[in-house]
Amino acid sequence: MASVPRALRRVFLVLTALAVTLLSSAVAARPALADQAPSNPNTAPYAADLLDWLSELPRRMHTKVVSGQFVSPNYGRPEYGMPTVQDAWDYHVEELHDLTGEYVGLVGFDPSNRTYQGGTAAENMPDFTNFRQLAKDYSDQGGIVHLTWHAANPFSGAHAWSTIPSGHTLAEIATTGTAANTQWMTWLDAIADGLQWFEDNQVPVIWRPFHELNGGWFWWGGGSNPDFVTVWRHMYDYLTATRGLDNLLWAWSPDVGQAFGTKVTARYPGNGYVDIVAFDRYGASYTNRTYYDHFRSATYGKVLGFSEVGLATGTGGNSTVVLNEIKTHFPDMAFFMFWMRMSTNFSIRGNPGAADLMNDPWTLNLDEIGVSVPLPTIVDDASAAFTYGGTWTHSADPLYHAGTKSVSNTAGAWAEATFTGTSLRVHARKLPSGGKFDVYVDGAFVASADTYAVADYSQAGVFQRGGLAAGSHTVRLVLNGSNPASSGAWVGLDYLAYQ
């Protein structure tokens, strides 16, 4: 592994940030297609701009998913060979750059003290000082700062992986006069002080408290659903209204490895208290779209991401699995964050495929953060730009883009559109009875696309081609049967995207 002095790396990052700034200023200003209003109406412009930029990413053709790596809790991880936060930073960020030539776009930290080790209430006081300069420097270079708080138990002083004592309720921490509330407010004041430092330095923060709220391993996972909403809103109101912190983007983060149900939906605090819906998912299979389909609906209208992912070293895991599943099943995800090296090494650096992941055209790394790019033009199936031949049924369907679909299972039926650009993407529904269609560009056969999938999901990118000559092109999609695994030959055309 090449050894590069850290001082030279800092120079490189500063120059990279300058280049990004110059390029950003050179791009003509234009509104994003789906600006998302922050939950806090007083959100600082630099934080609101970050949210707008994240909300735009799913519409890009490439460089559309921010790479991320969790680095360390405040106290380092001496038991895993990283006694300080700087040691963890060197392993997860600097050595990943040495290996791949790229710096991640998002870095994660945790202000907790002694989360596993327990300790007294005083020893569990949150602390930002061991990582805040690293985080600020990265933000100054264009990176995104993501903070997760594994809060200690205010009822017992135990670590996050504990329970609420019998006879007590979660709502007590939001109830003035209770012992739990007195302890909680001491810690919450320390959290506010730490976040204030970031606001004073104009650092936007993705703030993720009470994550994996639908599991049973953290103390905040116990208690009733209304109690959880009360506690979330209490923290939100205290940090935003009482303490005036306007640099926060609030990430609500369920664990998608758990069954979907009211423990998830009834614990959603409301759109006025959430900016980002960020899922936690470990393992090599990411194909369950129940959570994704529910929260990507217009009812919520939030930026989506994977706030924790991880693959176990030595189990055949490959870092590219995460991105490939995003491409195939979760195209609206704006970012992913790998967890750190522990007794199981979940990090990007610790798994095969790191270089492939970091250098994939979809991956958006530090040198590309904040850069505006032209967005593709969308041509909906119901647009007059489309012409159809053969048997098609055109109807309304809320699962499709713009609420319309064009469906056929007749071999030889075709759909055609003309566009001006150098790249093209076709979106359709994928389902167990999905069929195939052949793609012709300017009269020449290019490839076959298959809409069969074990799971049923809509708005899937089923064909993409770049490198076309600049100018006008005509694309024709011709239905052509199905693969042997499919129970039918149905094609549900949704839209084209080109640029």
Residue 163 CB coordination number (10 Å): 16
Helix%, strand%, coil% for the chain, nearest 5: 30, 25, 45
- DSSP code for 164: P
**CA max distance for the chain:** 75
Angle between helices 6-26 and 132-140 in degrees, nearest 10: 40
**What does the alpha-carbon distance between residue 184 and residue 189 come to, in Å, rounded to a whole number?**
9
**What does the alpha-carbon distance between residue 210 and residue 304 come to, in Å, rounded to a whole number?**
17
Question: Using an 8 Å Cβ cutoff, are 85 and 134 in contact?
Answer: yes
Q: What is each CA distance from 243 to 28, 34, 230, 355, in whole angstroms?
A: 37, 30, 18, 42
User: CA neighbours within 13 Å on the CB side: how many for 471?
Assistant: 4
Residue 476's closest CA among 412, 434, 415, 420? Answer: 415
Question: Using an 8 Å Cβ cutoff, are 440 and 469 in contact?
Answer: no
Enzyme catalytic residues: 212, 308
Q: H-type helices in 118-224, by residue range?
A: 132-140, 179-200
